[in-house]
């Protein structure tokens, strides 16, 4: 009894579900978001159902053709001829299979082709399918096996997942049985006066199958709804993600712009820092340069004083000679005259003058040349340079820079130059390059000086500056015989504000700026090789061909 | 004027579209009606053909029929004499009903099959599915009925026509044992014979017979 109640309850629930599942819809939406989900879900469900209906319509159109052919084959095999004694004629069943089967098949095929997916199409298909069952049963001589066509057709109709399709199919079966039961009862029940419940019994078996198929259809429809609902949720999530991505992209774009601005500011600051360091260097070098200029000026001045003094002596000699040839002077003998001149020459130490004056003049000339060189070097070194890279003679730049900072290295080291005379002009920012060479040479001199202090040695070190061309690259090496770079600080030497020098001696910007100039601004490479206690070699590599990205950056800058 | 003209035009187009849709809908309905009528006529004709019985007359007593056959089987309570056309497709259903009948009646019923045979028929005239089915029925006696003369004497002009004689040779039932042409399954003739043989029924009965004409008389 309990089981029966449970069964009835379930049946009622299924019935309620069926009644509510005509268009597989949910309850009305509550708000705008729900409204969108509701409508989108319905849209997807309808789209999927429509596709399914069209696909199933086509399947049935194909099935109709097959059934038509099958009916003809069945008629030919089962009852090809009808006989009157020894004479035969084509059996009416064969005509029926051709014409009646044709009419039966063509209606649904027409609708499936021209009106696919419409309710009327599947209702007609359902009805025609059941009539085909009747025809095939008839042609097969009422074989019980052929009756399975009815149940198979119902199952096939459930492919539509629309339980309403089963209604016309069941009605056709019921009407067929009812009509036969009324007009030809024997054709269905085998007796002329069947019990009234037999028609109901026949229909009941069809309905029995219908119940399962309807439940299956409703279940499928619910699954379709669920899938659509999931898809809508997915679409919603995707939309949210896309929106989020757009927001993030926008933010990222803004941050990129901000970063670019910062980079531009940084570049400007770097330029200012470079200039500041240059000025600082010039300031630091000023005393040395002054000393460098002062030394030649000193002996130029001394020589000038010497020449001035000696010029008086020379004038006395010239006066003496002039007196000898003066016609108004008292007449003296040639010997007196010679004696007088010789006396004067001896007094003035003419031999000394003859030897020293040219030397003094030469020294003065040399001193002036030296001053000119220093001034020219200063001028070139302190030139702000172009904002764009230009072809430059690196050898010349190295000579200039080493001249400017001569006072920094001349007391501790000997400068050796091995400059490649065939070095091609190299695209570079010459002012920045000068600064790098200056930093490296000064560092080299400082390293040698520190080593001398540490070892309390007076042995002069060597700074070797060399250049050479290596394929598409120019390589500049600055080698010193200093103490080398300790391993523990090797990784940090290019860090800004890092210095191993005494407080007040180094700013810690030299190598950081040098690296920035060579790597960032020239697309080159700056590295070092060092052996602790023996010295360090800094290697600069500059490209001869400027790469495109660098050029673009440069133009943008 | 402009907007009005446009409005009128669009109304016209809408009406035209509606008219076309209506016309198309009407045509579709008309085609559907024609289709239904054709189907009704087709199925009706088929039903009428299936349900139209062949000719049968009240049979005489067994002695008049003068069935010549080798009656080696033990004497039965009833004898069923059936006239068949070996090539009638509808008679295949009759054979399956006969087999079922024999299974129900057992030894109470002896069967004699008058097989229609034209005088000038080829040797393979009887190599048919009907005869093959008949051979599966136990204790059945085949009688070659040239031109269906014996069947005609029995009043049988349609393949499947059967007459049930009692022990005295009196006809108790005549007609067919299928419900329609080539339609196996429960039927009136089958039930009548079963009832008569099992003595549930004593009244003479007849049933329609469905099959090809034997070409020996009325048809």
pLDDT digits (tens, 9 = 90+) for A226-253: 888 898 889 889 999 999 999 999 999 9
Over range A31-39, report the average pLDDT.
76
The pair of three-digit structure tokens given for residue A118, joined into one six-digit string? 């419409």
Domains contained in chain B, number: 2
Q: Please indicate, yes or no, whether residues B110 and B170 belong to a single structural domain of this protein.
A: yes
Of B120, B128, B185, which to mutate for an interface test with A (greatest number of A Cβ within 10 Å)? B185
Asked whether the beta carbons of A375 and A293 are under 8 A apart, the reply is: yes
Res A464 pLDDT > 70: yes
Contacts of A415-420 with C-beta under 8 Å, sequence gap 24+, read A415/A463, A415/A465, A416/A462, A416/A463, A416/A464, A416/A465, A417/A464, A417/A465, A417/A466, A418/A464, A418/A465, A418/A466, A418/A467, A419/A395, A419/A465, A419/A466, A419/A467, A420/A395, A420/A466, A420/A467, A420/A468, A420/A469
Res B167 pLDDT > 90: no
The pair of three-digit structure tokens given for residue B75, joined into one six-digit string? 């004497």
Is B150 within the bounds of a domain?
yes
**Using 50, 70 and 90 to split pLDDT, how confident is the model at A19?**
very low
> Higher pLDDT residue, A163 or A7?
A163
Separation in Å, CA A343 to CA A312, A338, A348: 17, 8, 9
A439-A441-A445-A448 Cα dihedral, nearest 10 degrees: 110
Closest Cα in chain A, distance from residue B132 (Å): 14
Over range B54-78, report the average pLDDT.
71
A191:B50 CB<8 A: no
Of A132, A187, A189, A193, which to mutate for an interface test with B (greatest number of B Cβ within 10 Å)? A187
Instruction: Kindly report which listed range (B19-28, B107-116, B176-185) carries the lowest average pLDDT score.
Output: B19-28
Res A548 pLDDT > 60: no
B35:A134 CB<8 A: no
Residue A525 confidence (pLDDT): 93
Residue A18 confidence (pLDDT): 45
B38:A103 CB<8 A: yes
Residues of B in contact with A87 (CB under 8 A): 215
Q: Please indicate, yes or no, whether residues B164 and B130 belong to a single structural domain of this protein.
A: yes
Answer whether B38 touches A (CB < 8 Å): yes
Q: Please indicate, yes or no, whether residues B67 and B35 belong to a single structural domain of this protein.
A: no
A187:B179 CB<8 A: yes
SS3 for A491-503 is CCCCCCCCCCCCC
Complex ipTM: 0.81
Residue A58 confidence (pLDDT): 94
Residue A242 confidence (pLDDT): 94
Q: Please indicate, yes or no, whether residues B39 and B126 belong to a single structural domain of this protein.
A: no
Residues of B in contact with A86 (CB under 8 A): 118, 120-121, 215
Range A393-557 has CATH code 1.10.150.530? no
Reference A348, options A321, A322, A310, A319; nearest CA is A310
Res A11 pLDDT > 50: no
A103/B36 Cα distance (integer angstroms): 9
Residue A521 confidence (pLDDT): 86
Question: Of A277-281, A389-393, A415-419, A546-550, which has the strongest mean pLDDT?
Answer: A415-419
B87:A83 CB<8 A: yes
How many other C-beta atoms are found inside a 10 Å radius of the C-beta of residue B132? 13
A200/B65 Cα distance (integer angstroms): 45
Across the A:B interface, residue pairs with CB atoms under 8 Å apart total: 111
Over range A334-338, report the average pLDDT.
84
Over range A513-517, report the average pLDDT.
87
Over range B114-132, report the average pLDDT.
90
Residue A111 confidence (pLDDT): 93
A186:B32 CB<8 A: no
Question: Of A189-193, A377-381, B29-33, which has the strongest mean pLDDT?
Answer: B29-33
Instruction: Kindly report which listed range (A201-205, A295-299, B188-192) carries the lowest average pLDDT score.
Output: A201-205
Residue B64 confidence (pLDDT): 74
**Using 50, 70 and 90 to split pLDDT, how confident is the model at B219?**
very low
Q: Please indicate, yes or no, whether residues B43 and B88 belong to a single structural domain of this protein.
A: no
Over range A60-77, report the average pLDDT.
95
The pair of three-digit structure tokens given for residue A166, joined into one six-digit string? 């089963």
Residues of A in contact with B131 (CB under 8 A): none
> Where along chain A do its domains lie?
27-194, 393-557
Closest Cα in chain B, distance from residue A134 (Å): 9
How many other C-beta atoms are found inside a 10 Å radius of the C-beta of residue A175? 13
Residue A34 confidence (pLDDT): 75
Residue A245 confidence (pLDDT): 94
Reported residue count of chain B is: 219
Answer whether A218 touches B (CB < 8 Å): no
Res A83 pLDDT > 80: yes
- Phi, psi for residue A24 in degrees, rounded to 5: 50, 55
A180/A199 Cα distance (integer angstroms): 9
Q: Please indicate, yes or no, whether residues B134 and B76 belong to a single structural domain of this protein.
A: yes
A537/A519 Cα distance (integer angstroms): 17
Asked whether the beta carbons of B139 and B74 are under 8 A apart, the reply is: no
H or E segment and range at residue A41? helix A32-78
Q: Please indicate, yes or no, whether residues B143 and B38 belong to a single structural domain of this protein.
A: no
Res A23 pLDDT > 80: no
The pair of three-digit structure tokens given for residue A440, joined into one six-digit string? 């490296």
Is B211 within the bounds of a domain?
no
> Higher pLDDT residue, A545 or A365?
A365
Residues of A in contact with B28 (CB under 8 A): 115
A130/A108 Cα distance (integer angstroms): 12
The pair of three-digit structure tokens given for residue A15, joined into one six-digit string? 């019935």
pLDDT tens for residues A134-163? 899 888 877 778 888 999 999 999 999 899
Closest Cα in chain B, distance from residue A20 (Å): 30
B118:A138 CB<8 A: no
Residue A279 confidence (pLDDT): 74
Among the partner residues B85, B92, B179, nearest to A186 by beta-carbon distance: B179
pLDDT > 70 fraction of chain A, expressed in percent and rounded = 88
Among the partner residues A79, A143, A186, nearest to B89 by beta-carbon distance: A79
- Cite the DSSP H helix spans in A144-196: 148-157, 166-183, 185-189
Is B136 within the bounds of a domain?
yes
Q: Please indicate, yes or no, whether residues B68 and B47 belong to a single structural domain of this protein.
A: no
Residues of A in contact with B116 (CB under 8 A): 85
Is B214 within the bounds of a domain?
no
Residues of A in contact with B215 (CB under 8 A): 83-87
Reported residue count of chain A is: 557
**Using 50, 70 and 90 to split pLDDT, how confident is the model at A504?**
low
Q: Please indicate, yes or no, whether residues B69 and B47 belong to a single structural domain of this protein.
A: no
- Chain A, residues 348-377, CB within 8 A of chain B, namely none
Among the partner residues A131, A144, A192, nearest to B39 by beta-carbon distance: A131
Over range A454-477, report the average pLDDT.
90
Over range A118-126, report the average pLDDT.
93
Among the partner residues B35, B190, B216, nearest to A85 by beta-carbon distance: B216
Count helices and strands (H / E) in chain B.
Answer: 6, 6
pLDDT tens for residues A91-110? 999 999 999 999 999 999 99
Closest Cα in chain B, distance from residue A139 (Å): 8
Res B51 pLDDT > 60: yes
Asked whether the beta carbons of A524 and A427 are under 8 A apart, the reply is: no
A117/A103 Cα distance (integer angstroms): 21
Residue B157 confidence (pLDDT): 92
How many other C-beta atoms are found inside a 10 Å radius of the C-beta of residue B111? 24
Residue B3 confidence (pLDDT): 43
A422/A468 Cα distance (integer angstroms): 8
B141/B111 Cα distance (integer angstroms): 6
Residue B71 confidence (pLDDT): 55
Res B41 pLDDT > 60: yes
* 3-class state of residue A147 by DSSP: helix
Residues of A in contact with B50 (CB under 8 A): 138, 187
pLDDT > 90 fraction of chain A, expressed in percent and rounded = 35
**Using 50, 70 and 90 to split pLDDT, how confident is the model at B14?**
low
Q: Please indicate, yes or no, whether residues B3 and B94 belong to a single structural domain of this protein.
A: no
Across chain A, what does the average pLDDT equal?
84
Residue A296 confidence (pLDDT): 84
Closest Cα in chain B, distance from residue A49 (Å): 24
Q: Please indicate, yes or no, whether residues B117 and B145 belong to a single structural domain of this protein.
A: yes
- Phi, psi for residue A86 in degrees, rounded to 5: -90, 0
Over range A63-82, report the average pLDDT.
94
- Phi, psi for residue A525 in degrees, rounded to 5: -145, 140
Across chain B, what does the average pLDDT equal?
83
- Chain A, residues 80-109, CB within 8 A of chain B, namely 80-88, 91-93, 96, 99-100, 103-104, 107
A38/A58 Cα distance (integer angstroms): 30
Residues of A in contact with B51 (CB under 8 A): 184, 187
Separation in Å, CA A518 to CA A1, A382, A388, A480, A521: 96, 19, 14, 20, 6
For residue B146, what are the β-bridge partners?
B117
Residue B19 confidence (pLDDT): 66
For residue B165, what are the β-bridge partners?
B79, B171
B180:A192 CB<8 A: no
Beta strand extents in A366-424 (DSSP E only) = 390-392, 413-418
- Phi, psi for residue A122 in degrees, rounded to 5: -75, -25
Asked whether the beta carbons of A155 and A92 are under 8 A apart, the reply is: no
Q: Which domain holds residue B83?
A: 62-206
Over range A184-206, report the average pLDDT.
70
Question: Of A53-57, A189-193, A361-365, B104-108, which has the strongest mean pLDDT?
Answer: A53-57
**Using 50, 70 and 90 to split pLDDT, how confident is the model at A262?**
very high
**Exposure string for A250-265, b = 16+ CB within 10 A, e = fewer:** eeeeeeeeeeeeeeee
Could you tell me which chain A residue has the CA closest to the CA of B28?
A111
Asked whether the beta carbons of A11 and A207 are under 8 A apart, the reply is: no
CATH of the domain at B140: 3.40.30.10
Q: Are strands A81-84 and A461-470 parallel, antiparallel or unpaired?
A: unpaired
Question: Of A149-153, A319-323, A334-338, which has the strongest mean pLDDT?
Answer: A149-153
The pair of three-digit structure tokens given for residue A500, joined into one six-digit string? 């191993």
Q: Please indicate, yes or no, whether residues B43 and B67 belong to a single structural domain of this protein.
A: no
């Amino acid at each position: 009894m309990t089981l029966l109640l449970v069964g009835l309850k379930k049946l009622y629930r299924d019935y309620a579900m069926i009644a509510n599942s005509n268009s597989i819809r949910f309850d009305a939406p509550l708000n705008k978001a729900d409204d969108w989900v509701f409508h989108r879900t319905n849209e997807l469900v309808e789209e999927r159902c429509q596709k399914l209906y069209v696909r199933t319509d086509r399947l049935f159109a194909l099935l109709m053709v097959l059934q038509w052919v099958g009916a003809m084959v069945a008629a030919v095999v089962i009852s090809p001829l009808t006989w009157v004694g020894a004479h035969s004629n084509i059996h009416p069943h064969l005509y029926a299979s051709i014409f009646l089967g044709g009419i039966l098949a063509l209606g649904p095929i027409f609708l499936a082709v021209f009106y696919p997916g419409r309710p009327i199409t599947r209702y007609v298909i359902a009805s025609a399918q059941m009539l085909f069952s009747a025809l095939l049963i008839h042609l097969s001589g009422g074989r019980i096996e052929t009756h399975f066509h009815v149940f198979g057709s119902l199952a096939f109709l459930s492919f539509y997942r629309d339980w309403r399709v089963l209604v016309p199919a069941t009605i056709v079966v019921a009407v067929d049985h009812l009509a036969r039961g009324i007009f030809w009862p024997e054709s269905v029940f085998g007796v002329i006066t069947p019990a009234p419940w037999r028609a109901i019994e026949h229909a009941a078996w069809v309905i029995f199958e219908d119940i399962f198929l309807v439940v299956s259809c409703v279940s499928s429809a619910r699954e379709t709804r669920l899938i659509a609902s999931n898809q809508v949720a997915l679409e919603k999530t995707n939309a949210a993600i896309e929106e989020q991505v757009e927001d993030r992209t926008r933010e990222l774009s803004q941050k990129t712009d901000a970063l670019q601005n910062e980079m531009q500011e940084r570049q400007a600051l770097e330029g200012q820092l470079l200039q500041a360091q240059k000025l600082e260097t010039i300031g630091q070098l000023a005393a040395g340069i002054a000393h460098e200029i002062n030394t030649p000026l000193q002996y130029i001045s001394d020589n000038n004083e010497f020449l001035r003094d000696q010029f008086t002596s020379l004038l006395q000699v010239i006066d003496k000679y002039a007196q000898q040839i003066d016609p108004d002077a008292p007449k003296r003998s040639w010997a007196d005259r010679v004696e007088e001149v010789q006396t004067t020459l001896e007094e003035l130490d003419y031999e000394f003058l003859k030897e020293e004056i040219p030397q003094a003049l030469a020294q003065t000339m040399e001193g002036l040349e030296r001053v000119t060189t220093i001034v020219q070097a200063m001028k070139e070194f302190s030139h702000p340079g172009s904002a764009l890279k230009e072809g430059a003679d690196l050898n010349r730049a190295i000579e200039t820079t080493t001249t400017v900072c001569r006072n920094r290295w001349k007391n501790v080291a000997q400068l050796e130059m091995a400059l490649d005379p065939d070095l091609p002009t190299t695209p570079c920012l010459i002012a920045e390059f000068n600064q790098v060479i200056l930093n490296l040479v000064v560092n080299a001199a400082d390293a040698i000086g520190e080593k001398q202090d540490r070892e309390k040695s007076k042995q002069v070190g060597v700074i070797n500056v060399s250049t050479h061309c290596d394929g598409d690259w120019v390589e500049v090496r600055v080698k010193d015989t200093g103490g080398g770079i300790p391993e523990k600080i090797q990784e940090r030497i290019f860090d800004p504000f890092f210095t191993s020098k005494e407080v007040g001696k180094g700013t810690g910007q030299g190598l950081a700026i040098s690296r920035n100039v060579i790597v960032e601004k020239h697309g080159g490479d700056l590295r070092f090789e060092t052996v602790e206690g023996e010295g360090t070699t800094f290697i600069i590599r500059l490209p001869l061909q400027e790469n495109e990205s660098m050029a673009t950056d440069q133009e943008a800058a | 004027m402009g907007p009005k003209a446009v409005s009128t035009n669009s109304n016209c187009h809408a009406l035209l579209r509606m008219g076309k849709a209506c016309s198309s809908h009407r045509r579709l309905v008309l085609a559907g009606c024609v289709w239904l009528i054709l189907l009704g006529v087709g199925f009706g004709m088929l039903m009428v053909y299936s349900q139209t019985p062949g000719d049968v007359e009240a049979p005489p007593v067994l002695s008049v029929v003068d069935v010549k056959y080798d009656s080696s089987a033990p004497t039965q309570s009833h004898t069923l004499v059936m006239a068949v056309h070996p090539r009638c497709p509808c008679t295949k259903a009759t054979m399956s009903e006969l087999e079922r009948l024999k299974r129900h009646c057992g030894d109470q019923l002896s069967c004699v099959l008058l097989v229609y045979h034209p005088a000038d028929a080829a040797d393979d005239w009887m190599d048919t599915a009907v005869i093959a089915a008949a051979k599966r029925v136990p204790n059945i006696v085949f009688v070659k009925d040239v031109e269906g003369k014996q069947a005609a004497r029995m009043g049988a002009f349609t393949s499947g026509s059967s007459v049930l004689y009692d022990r005295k040779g009196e006809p108790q039932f005549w007609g067919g044992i299928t419900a329609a042409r080539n339609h196996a399954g429960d039927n009136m003739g089958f039930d009548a014979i079963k009832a008569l043989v099992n003595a549930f029924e004593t009244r003479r009965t007849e049933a329609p017979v469905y099959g090809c004409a034997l070409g020996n008389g009325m048809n």
